[in-house]
Chain A
């Protein structure tokens, strides 16, 4: 118990180092506002310039006081009182640890960010300028960690990651946030299911385990500190939940976050992998859906590669990866002849025809013998390939739907331009789209019969719609011709009547005269 109290006191002392800005930058807490640390004021006449807190606690072999000698803050002249308050220049304990002198003892966890924020927060003073201290308090304040701390005092704050009394620079290998340690530092909480339950019970706690299986993790374990660690993707002080649209790991931001390293030729030099993935992805059907239309159903990098366990899918696992979304395609492909052939040649399934990062919208032109159709890579339409007629037939079925639909629409438009009502036929064409989608799925069976089964209903509708359009045009002509005939008949009758009237009137004139 005593040890814990002392540790807390020591923690407070370390944090007090960062409190030096109190005079220039008043802290929000009343008790935190007062301090007579060495950062805050120069020694008055008759007062000691020696940090009496440190001197006394070192005499008592306090581990915190001893550890503080190696703390970056000690090297910058930050005294105990700068974080803990009180008067570090007085050798009188009652004065040094007087509440009247702003002594706060061990800051509570809620107080810690504000204590550190005196130097690492907003505002400017000579000390911050001299040591180029950034405003990380504001960044932390908007993070999910700060939100967790607000709701639960067990939530993470500065010392949770940076330690206390022996704080080192991030670049210092002793620092817990040094790239070599940051995985374990994050995992301290994020791999602790009991701890995480208090904050987000649904959040997995296997990130570190997965990371170790990833290419990043393996290289990291091998001593490559250039690879991505937790903070590379999630940032450090402003950690946000994945579902937060501002987060760098929000689905629409993931490609850019990954590209930060993977599109940078200098960073990637020596790894022997291309840096064009992001550029290709942006122009792909997936990239356009995700980045331009903000369609969160579209895949980002992590959808195929995994996130914490990121690795390129192997040739054998590509089908399963694509099959996460394209389940029907996967099922049909699994039963197809290509499955075995591609596997034996170690070809990466879907990627053979559709590419990986640069997946283009699948059009019927993929099924052809013309470059750059993937079929033409293995099949020849020169009479030697017995499957060639089937490919031709399959393309014919697809064309019957798409080209047929276009020609039916043209027939209906022609009829409509003539003023004929073909709404029903036009409406029926909507069902063709369903058939087109099903056919484009069925093509993955690479069997004519299966494709025909999917395409047939659509082809029938297309034929009916085209016929309706043609009949409407015929009806239009019939109406015009009918009108011409009836007009002629009526006009003929009118002429006859006129002649009759003239005859009658002439006869009457003769009789009258």
Chain B
């Protein structure tokens, strides 16, 4: 005699046909091996995205884009609105933890070769989600219209402008004009609260559908006799939930003990503060560009740097294509070497940039 399902599930079951879903979840297996821990970072990223959406919606109720209202409204949220400080701080911290979690998730997928056939589309969609996460960070950073954000956006958008032919138009497209103004602010606001969430939700839906339908990636070399699995439901889901609770605690501690500073209001006519830097997740590129010489083979060093970073990004995106052993599922140390080099480069450049 099978156990009677709990009330809410029974209630839903009577109205919706969720049996196939339950059937699917109860039969889905998650490989259990020494790399299983990394599977959870996909879930953690999802959790942080949900936190972002929830806290973002709350902020949206008070935030007013505009040169004369953006900073003031964020200040109002932080100072006057009940728990406004907490919501804003959580939104800011969750954004950074989200990027960190996505990075970890991406590298774990890369090093476990989870991008190989038949999961290429999952990798591509994941990469696009990372790009959109960068877009979220870049656009959201400007919204409080404080000094650091203003000048960091100015520097960030200027870098693009060095590209020949397309650089100028791209910069103007980003800025909604020649300079960072209130038009840039409203453009970034539109991107941050409408366009990016819509695009992100769509791609996230595809990404998750692919994961669920294809199942978790199993290690390439996994002896038949040692293979172990755990049920996706409830084991994996509950473990996921446990990690979410831990992350929630970390997030709360960070938000309360290290509230995200608002700083001073941006003054477009004021001097840029010394040592202006982009957010930490852009720092490895920003710092890397500094090491390019002024001229390389007669070409502007910065242009060469941006093109090289672009090419590196493209190669990273296309790893399922150039990983020659993908079809065979064989070991490929070269892929590992490339990955380790990239990780070391990011760590070293970020550390240098933070100093």
Q: Which residues of A come within 8 Å of B, CB atoms? A: 419, 421, 423-424, 479-480, 482-483, 486-487, 490-491, 493-494, 497-498, 500-501, 504-505, 508
Structural contact, A483 and B242, CB atoms closer than 8 A: no
Residue of B with least CB distance to A493: B245
What is the bound-complex CA distance between A419 and B258, given in angstroms?
9
User: Is B246 part of the binding interface, using a Cβ–Cβ cutoff of 8 Å?
Assistant: yes
Q: A421-B79, A479-B256, A483-B256 are in contact. Are A497 and B238 (CB under 8 A)?
A: yes
- The stretch among B63-71, B174-182, B247-255 that forms the contact with chain A is B247-255
Interface residues of B in 213-240 (CB under 8 A from A): 231, 234-235, 238-239
> Which residues does chain A contribute within 8 Å of B75, judged by CB atoms?
421
A497 to B239, CA, bound (A): 8
Tell me how far the C-beta of B56 lies from the nearest C-beta in chain A, rounded to whole angstroms: 21
Q: How many A-B residue pairs have CB under 8 A?
A: 47
* A494–B231 CA distance with the chains assembled, in angstroms: 20
Enumerate chain B residues within 8 angstroms of A500, measured Cβ to Cβ. 238
On whether A497 and B235 interact (CB within 8 A), knowing A419-B259, A421-B79, A483-B252, the answer reads no
Asked if B235 contacts A501 (CB within 8 A), the reply is yes
Is B133 an interface position by the 8 A CB rule?
no
A416 to B78, CA, bound (A): 14
Complex contact B79–A498 (CB within 8 A): no
* B245: A residues at CB distance < 8 A: 490-491, 493-494, 497
Provide 5 A-B residue pairs closer than 8 Å at the C-beta atoms, listed in order of the A residue. A479-B86, A487-B249, A498-B242, A500-B238, A505-B235
Chief secondary structure at chain A's binding surface: helix
Interface string of B307-334 (1 = CB under 8 A from A): 0000000000000000000000000000
A511: min CB distance to chain B, Å: 12
Contact partner of B253 among A424, A483, A493, A498, CB < 8 A? Answer: A483
Give the 4 A-B CB pairs with smallest separation, nearest first. A494-B245, A483-B256, A497-B242, A490-B249
**B79: A residues at CB distance < 8 A:** 421, 423-424
Question: Which residue of B has the minimal Cβ distance to A488?
Answer: B249
Which residue from B242, B249, B252 sits with its C-beta under 8 Å from A501?
B242
Are B241 and A490 in contact, with the CB atoms below 8 A? no
Minimal beta-carbon separation of B21 from chain A (angstroms): 20
Q: Which residues of B contact A497 (CB under 8 A)?
A: 238, 241-242, 245
Are the CB atoms of A491 and B249 closer together than 8 Å? yes
Residues of B within 8 A of A419 (CB): 259
Closest Cβ–Cβ distance, residue A487 to chain B (whole Å): 5
Q: Roughly how many angstroms separate A28 CA and B137 CA in the complex, as a whole number?
A: 80
Q: Are A494 and B235 in contact (CB under 8 A)?
A: no
B85: chain A residues at CB < 8 Å are 421
User: A500 vs B237: C-alpha distance in the bound complex, in angstroms?
Assistant: 12
Contact B252 A487 (CB under 8 A): yes
Q: Bound state CA distance, A493 and B238, in angstroms?
A: 12
Instruction: Determine whether the beta carbon of A504 is less than 8 Å from that of B235.
Output: yes
Q: Which residues of A contact B246 (CB under 8 A)?
A: 494
Q: Which residue of A lies closest to B78 (CB)?
A: A421
Determine the distance from Cα of A403 to Cα of B218 in the docked complex, in whole angstroms. Answer: 72
Q: List A contacts of B241 (CB < 8 A).
A: 497
Closest chain B residue to A421 by CB distance? Answer: B79
Q: How far is the CA of A491 from the CA of B242 in the complex (A)?
A: 10
Q: Distance in Å from the Cβ of B121 to the closest Cβ of chain A?
A: 32
Set of chain A residues within 8 Å of B259, measured between Cβ atoms:
419
Say yes or no: A504-B252 contact (C-beta < 8 A), given A424-B79, A497-B245.
no
Shortest CB–CB separation between residue B83 and chain A, in angstroms?
A: 9
User: For the complex, what is the distance from the CA of A480 to the CA of B79, rounded to whole Å?
Assistant: 17
A385 to B262, CA, bound (A): 57
> Quick one: closest B residue to A480, CB to CB?
B256
User: Does the CB pair B252–A490 fall under 8 Å?
Assistant: yes
User: What residues of chain B lie closer than 8 Å to A491, measured between beta carbons?
Assistant: 245, 249
Contacts of B235 in A (CB 8 A): 501, 504-505, 508
Measured CB to CB, the closest approach of chain A to B57, in angstroms, equals: 20
Given A491-B249, A494-B242, A498-B242, answer yes or no on A504-B256 (Cβ-Cβ < 8 Å): no
Which residue of chain A has its CB nearest to the CB of B79? A421
A113 to B116: give the CA distance in the assembly, Å.
105
A493 CA to B244 CA, complexed, in Å: 11
Additional 14 contacts, C-beta under 8 A, given A483-B252, A490-B252, A497-B245:
A421-B79, A479-B256, A482-B256, A486-B252, A487-B249, A487-B253, A491-B245, A493-B245, A497-B241, A497-B242, A498-B242, A500-B238, A501-B239, A505-B235
Residue of chain B at shortest CB distance from A486: B252
A504, B232: Cα distance in complex, Å: 13
A504 lies within 8 A of B238 (CB): yes
Query: Taking the nearest CB of chain A, how far is it from the CB of B285, in angstroms?
Result: 32
Q: How far is the CA of A300 from the CA of B75 in the complex (A)?
A: 49
Q: Restricting to B253-298, which residues have a CB under 8 Å from any CB of A?
A: 253, 256-257, 259, 262
For residue B237, which residue of chain A has the nearest CB? A501
Contacts of B248 in A (CB 8 A): 490
In the assembly, what is the distance between CA of A505 and CA of B235, in Å? 7
Which residues of chain B from 78 to 95 have any CB-CB distance to chain A below 8 Å in the complex? 78-79, 85-86
CA distance A505 to B85 in the complex (A): 41
- Distance, CA A479 to CA B242, complexed state (A): 24
- A487 to B78, alpha carbons, bound, how many Å? 22
How distant is the Cα of A479 from the Cα of B245 in the complex, in angstroms? 19
Candidate in B239, B249, B257 with the most chain A CB atoms within 10 angstroms: B249
Report the minimum CB–CB distance from B3 to chain A (whole Å).
12
Residues of A within 8 A of B253 (CB): 483, 487
B75 to chain A, nearest CB (A): 8
Nearest CB of A to B92, in Å: 14
- B134: shortest Cβ distance to chain A, in Å? 29
Q: Give the distance to chain B from A449, nearest Cβ to Cβ, in Å.
A: 38
Q: Are B238 and A501 in contact (CB under 8 A)?
A: yes
Closest B residue to A482 by CB, please name it: B256
Q: Could you say which residues of chain B place their CB within 8 Å of the CB of A490?
A: 245, 248-249, 252
A479 to B252 CA separation, bound complex (whole angstroms): 10
Alpha-carbon gap, A508 to B233, bound state (A) = 12
Bound together, the chains give a CA A505 to CA B245 distance in angstroms of: 20
A498 to B259, CA, bound (A): 30
Of chain A, the residue at the smallest CB distance from B245 is A494
- A479 / chain B contacts, CB cutoff of 8 Å: 86, 256
Q: How far is the CA of A423 from the CA of B265 in the complex (A)?
A: 13
Instruction: Compute how far the CA of A421 lies from the CA of B76 in the bound complex, rounded to whole angstroms.
Output: 11
Shortest beta-carbon distance from A415 to chain B in Å = 12
A499 to B78, CA, bound (A): 38
A501 to B241 Cα, complex, angstroms: 11
Residues of chain A within 8 A of B239, CB atoms compared: 501
* Complex alpha-carbon distance, A505 and B231, angstroms: 10
Query: How many Å from the CB of B118 to the closest CB on chain A?
Result: 29
B253 smallest CB distance to A (angstroms): 7
CA distance A35 to B195 in the complex (A): 99
Question: Whose C-beta in chain B lies nearest to the C-beta of A497?
Answer: B242
Chain B min CB distance to A43 (Å): 79
**A470–B75 alpha-carbon span in the complex (Å):** 20
Q: B337 → chain A, closest Cβ, in Å? A: 38
Bound complex: CA A504 to CA B249 (Å): 24
